[in-house]
Amino acid sequence: MSVPLIELNGICKVYGGIDSPEVQVLRGVSLSIHPGEFVAIVGTSGSGKSTLMNILGCLDRPSSGSYHFAGKNVAELDSDELAWLRREAFGFVFQGYHLIPSGSAQENVEMPAIYAGTAAAERHARAAALLDRLGLASRTGNRPHQLSGGQQQRVSIARALMNGGHIILADEPTGALDSHSGAEVMNLLDELASQGHVIILITHDREVAARAARVIEIRDGQIVSDSAAGQPPVVIQGLQADDLRQRLNQGAVERGAWKGELVEALQAAWRVMWINRFRTALTLLGIVIGVASVVVMLAVGEGSKRQVMAQMAAFGSNILYLSGRHATLREPGGIVSLDDVAAVAQLPQVERIMPVIGGELMVRHGNNNQQFYVGGNNIQFPHILNWPVVAGSFFTEADERSGAAVAVIGQKVRDKLLAPGSDPIGQYLLIGNVPFQVIGMLAAKGASSGDQDSDERIVVPYTAAAIRLFGSHDPEYVIIAAADSARVSATEAAIERLMRQRHQGKADFELTNDAALIQAEARTQNSLSLMLGAIAAISLLVGGIGVMNIMLMTVRERTREIGIRMATGARQRDILRQFLSEAVMLSMVGGVTGIVLALAIGGGLLLADIAVAFALPAILGAFACAVVTGVVFGFMPARKAARLDPVKALTSE
């Protein structure tokens, strides 16, 4: 005699106990079902039929008693093995159809095969063939709410058959159908029984039960009659219990194709997200703002860094500034004299030196007058500031010695005071009432340095400025070019020593360099970035909480869907993966939106003349942040979904 496929011994099921009164629903059910049988379990409503079916289908565990499936004790199977049984051995047909509302008929039918790891092409073909066989060829793309009850039930039968459906567990399959559709479904079950499927049909209707070869009556959780009692089991060729047991032993551990599952999970996620798009959009704002502020912040930071670099390149990085200052608060400010300048110029580390005296003065030409910065400099000007003359020539050492009233002008002075584009050489300007002749024009520098005002300046010989314009001989400050830009700090130390010596040891002067200035600027930049970073972090946190919120809502709204997925064979980790991929997908959508928003903001800033420079690593980093947020904050809801009890999930509202 063959091993029974299903063998129950003294199965009891007790509900409640801790917080609600104890209800004993099944009281010692013993039962054997062999391959090829068509069994009806009949009983009045509340007699425990559905409870029994849930136990038979491994959706629920009995409180006591033993269940052997194909000779294996089900109590010893882990959750993956139980999922394997639901997926490969059983096919469920419920009174309420239990289709996933957001999926099409085709997608609903394919689901068990996805969890079984069937290749996509084979899956599509098989689902289409099954739907065709059940007369639904023209309805494959319809969603459940677009199908009649009879059609939905046929879809669920197709789903039950998707992985073979060796044992069809049908709980009141005709209960919600009109008599015509009900008859159709019964004919289908008959046909399947004759093809060798084990059918376990649960019904309260004796007439329906009479279609089965064997009728078991249940009352108050006990079997009161069994038409097969005492008769030898009918064994039909085909499915053997040993066969299934063997496959269970190998199959439960083998992994399905995760790719197919992932694709399905993402498609399902997208569908649900699209249905709730308004809610989703609102909740994603946090991530959008977080990602956008990270990207914009980094782009602005990078932009201003590049601007500073451009300024450095334009003015040279070997430049030092020397000026007087108060050594202590009580003493008068120190002065760097022209003698100091001459002494510093003798240092071997110093390549060039230029005293500066200057200020804003009214400059007039004809009827035009305007304030410009007028600086007294020496012939080092074009070299030390890396600023060539493009028209005429710079003044000479002789001009400097004699204090000649000659001027070299910036291009904006020409444009504003003379005619734009005109030739300024030879023209006379009245600078503070002193006539100066223009002998040269500087290259336009504003564009490369980023400082638009740098072209609004006039350069005159130091001596002319000191005597004719400002009435002072001491330079305001001194610009020094170190001979070796790699040894700026050594140069600085040498100048410092010399100046101390010359100033009786007093530090009544100040020595700075471009690098220091840029570092100071970078520090301000950093604190700004830090603040923006904090905003971004908070937004991402809020966004993450939003994702968690959506996911918790989704899990609650779709508890029944989770139950359906489990009944069709999803493992816990499949459910976990599904909801985790939903969370990641949500955050990815938020991340992409954030990046688009950031690019738009960046465009706006560029129009407003603020330097921005988008860097790909920054964008990718922000996107990765969003994805990580999705994983971190989606994990808890996903785990909650995965740990749901299949029966409770299925029967939830």
Residues near Mg ion (CB under 5 A) are 50
Cα–Cα distance, 354 to 381 (Å, whole number): 7
Q: Tell me the one-letter amino acid at 506.
A: K
For Mg ion, the nearest residue by Cβ is: 50
* CB contact set of 565 (below 8 Å; sequence gap of 6+): 100, 111, 115, 574, 575, 578
Quick one: 43 or 461, whose CB is closer to ligand ADP?
43
Minimum Å distance from CB 566 to ligand ADP? 16
**17: helix, coil or strand?**
coil
Cβ pair 244, 74 in contact under 8 A? no
Quick one: 56 or 295, whose CB is closer to ligand ADP?
56
The item of ligand ADP, Mg ion, none sharing an interface with residue 48, based on CB under 5 to 8 Å by kind, is: ligand ADP
Q: Residue numbers of the site for ligand ADP (CB under 6 A)?
A: 15-16, 23, 25, 43, 45-51
Quick one: 438 or 650, whose CB is closer to ligand ADP?
650
Quick one: 22 or 609, whose CB is closer to ligand ADP?
22
Q: Do the strands 167-171 and 64-69 form a parallel or antiparallel pair, or are they unpaired?
A: unpaired
The item of Mg ion, ligand ADP, none sharing an interface with residue 15, based on CB under 5 to 8 Å by kind, is: ligand ADP
Give the DSSP letter string of 373-414.
Answer: EEEEE-TTHHHHTT--EEEE----HHHHHHT--EEEE-HHHH
**271: helix, coil or strand?**
helix
Quick one: 51 or 163, whose CB is closer to ligand ADP?
51
User: End-to-end distance of the chain based on CA atoms, in angstroms?
Assistant: 45
Minimum Å distance from CB 25 to ligand ADP? 4
Cα–Cα distance, 482 to 353 (Å, whole number): 9
The item of ligand ADP, Mg ion, none sharing an interface with residue 181, based on CB under 5 to 8 Å by kind, is: none
Minimum Å distance from CB 552 to ligand ADP? 23
Minimum Å distance from CB 208 to Mg ion? 14
Q: Give which of 254, 265, 238, 237 is closest to 165, Cα–Cα.
A: 238
The item of Mg ion, ligand ADP, none sharing an interface with residue 280, based on CB under 5 to 8 Å by kind, is: none
Quote the Cα angle for 195-197-202, to 5°.
125
Cα–Cα distance, 43 to 203 (Å, whole number): 7
Q: How many residues are given for the chain?
A: 653
The item of ligand ADP, Mg ion, none sharing an interface with residue 427, based on CB under 5 to 8 Å by kind, is: none
Minimum Å distance from CB 41 to Mg ion? 10
Quick one: 50 or 323, whose CB is closer to Mg ion?
50
The item of Mg ion, ligand ADP, none sharing an interface with residue 46, based on CB under 5 to 8 Å by kind, is: ligand ADP
The item of ligand ADP, Mg ion, none sharing an interface with residue 65, based on CB under 5 to 8 Å by kind, is: none
Minimum Å distance from CB 12 to Mg ion? 18
Minimum Å distance from CB 251 to ligand ADP? 30
Neighbours of 61 (CB within 10 A): 14
The item of Mg ion, ligand ADP, none sharing an interface with residue 274, based on CB under 5 to 8 Å by kind, is: none
Quick one: 50 or 106, whose CB is closer to Mg ion?
50
Quick one: 49 or 640, whose CB is closer to ligand ADP?
49
Minimum Å distance from CB 221 to ligand ADP? 7
Give the DSSP letter string of 458-485.
Answer: EEEEHHHIIIIII---S-SEEEEEES-G
